[in-house]
């Protein structure tokens, strides 16, 4: 009997030792899933623009709101590769299925949407791992300033200017950075400033259609005039470095023959893009 009892004790001891050896050692409290912390870099904000107070993170069908540059998502994720989107709420812009859309009414795109930033990438999640990912929030709405300097004639002859710019986009794919929109235009609101006519709009992007600037000018005396200029060549890099405003400038001469005005625009230049276009090179 003693011999049997000793053998049983030995067998039990061996089983305990074996159990201790085979038990896995986990690095986290979630051994079968991964956890994500997202760090947002806001260094690509345009001068004078305030960082948004909050932003949305979309991943694996989940949406969370973050208010700090470093945010840990409460949810856990199965191992795998996921596409994520980060973007801030902005008036006149909606986001759905990775597309940012600016409000447009009857083909007229909202001229001054709020500043909008986004980032998107694929991340690989491993189980039993805490992940930290850093992304740069890119400014996706760019300011376009238009300045026309009266170099000949009297600016006071101009009562008002109604303008439109064609070939503008109202949708941006946040995944691949492409733009879309058909037969859309934006209407810059021109005002007088000294001897200049100035206007500003904010655009999410341009399309393959021509960017035609049309000015319908009303004069104090004389018949109105329509001026049309294809400015596509001066906006070729508009989708790059959107945190830097673009200024499209030219000279306008105001002349009159009888009751007919024959004002002309010349000397177009573009400033603020990577490869600025000089009117003399066209």
Residue 24, pLDDT above cutoff 90: no
- Give the length of the chain: 282
Strand order, beta sheet including 179-180: 93-96, 99-102, 171-173, 179-180
**CA 138 – CA 241 distance, rounded (Å):** 9
Give the residue from 65, 81, 74, 67 showing the smallest Cα distance to 37. Answer: 74
pLDDT of the residue at 261 = 86
* Contact status, residue 104 vs residue 187, Cβ threshold 8 Å: no
Residue that wins the pLDDT comparison between 230 and 255: 230
Which of the two residues, 88 and 257, has the higher pLDDT score? 88
Q: Structure tokens of 14? A: 């061996």
What three-state secondary structure class fits 150?
strand
pLDDT tens string 93-103: 999 999 999 99
Average pLDDT, the chain: 90
The pLDDT value recorded for residue 23 is: 65
- Helices marked H in 146-240: none
- pLDDT above 80 for 279: no
For the chain, give the percent of residues with pLDDT over 90. Answer: 83
Which pLDDT does position 8 carry in this prediction?
A: 36
At 14, the pLDDT band (50, 70, 90 cuts) reads very low
More confidently predicted of 9 and 176: 176
| Residue that wins the pLDDT comparison between 185 and 276 | 185
Tens of pLDDT, residue by residue over 167-188, are 999 999 999 999 999 999 999 9
pLDDT (tens digit, 9 = 90+) per residue, 29-52? 999 999 999 999 999 999 999 999
Band of residue 258 on the pLDDT scale cut at 50, 70, 90: confident
- Give all strands of the β-sheet with 138-139 in edge-to-edge order: 62-66, 55-59, 80-87, 117-125, 138-139
Section 189-218 average pLDDT: 97
pLDDT band at 274 (very low <50, low <70, confident <90, very high): low
Q: Domains in the chain, please, with CATH?
A: 34-92+116-139 (2.60.40.1120), 142-281 (2.60.40)
Residue range 125-160, pLDDT digits in tens: 999 999 999 999 999 999 999 999 999 999 999 999
- pLDDT of residue 272 exceeding 70, the answer is yes
CA distance 277 to 247: 11
Question: Are the C-beta atoms of 98 and 86 separated by less than 8 Å?
Answer: no
Contact indicator for 270, 246 with CB cutoff of 8 Å = yes
Q: In this predicted structure, what is the pLDDT of residue 22?
A: 61
Q: How far apart are CA 88 and CA 211, in angstroms?
A: 28
């Amino acid at each position: 009997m003693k011999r049997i009892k000793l053998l049983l004790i030995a067998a039990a001891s061996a089983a305990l030792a074996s159990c201790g050896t085979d038990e896995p050692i986990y690095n986290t409290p979630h051994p079968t899933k991964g956890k994500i912390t997202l760090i947002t870099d806001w260094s690509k904000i345009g001068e004078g623009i305030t960082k948004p107070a909050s932003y949305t993170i979309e991943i694996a069908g989940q949406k969370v709101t973050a208010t700090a540059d470093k945010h840990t998502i409460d949810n856990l994720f199965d191992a795998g590769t996921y596409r994520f989107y980060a973007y801030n709420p902005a008036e006149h812009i909606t986001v759905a299925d990775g597309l940012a859309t600016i409000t447009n009414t009857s083909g007229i795109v909202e001229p001054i949407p709020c500043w909008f930033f986004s980032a998107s990438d694929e991340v690989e999640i491993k189980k039993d791992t805490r992940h930290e990912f850093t992304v740069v929030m890119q400014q996706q709405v760019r300011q376009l300033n238009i300045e026309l300097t009266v170099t000949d004639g009297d600016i006071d002859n101009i009562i008002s200017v109604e303008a439109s710019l064609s070939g503008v986009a109202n949708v941006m794919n946040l995944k691949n950075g492409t733009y879309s929109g058909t037969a859309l235009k934006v209407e810059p609101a021109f005002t007088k400033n000294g001897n200049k006519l100035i206007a500003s709009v904010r655009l999410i992007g341009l399309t393959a259609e021509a960017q035609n600037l049309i000015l319908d000018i009303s004069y104090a005396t004389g018949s109105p005039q329509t001026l049309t200029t294809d400015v596509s060549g001066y906006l070729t890099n508009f989708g790059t470095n959107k945190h830097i405003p673009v200024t499209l400038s030219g000279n306008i001469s105001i002349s009159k023959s009888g009751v007919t005005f024959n004002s002309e625009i010349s000397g177009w230049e573009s400033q603020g893009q990577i490869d600025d276009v000089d009117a003399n090179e066209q």
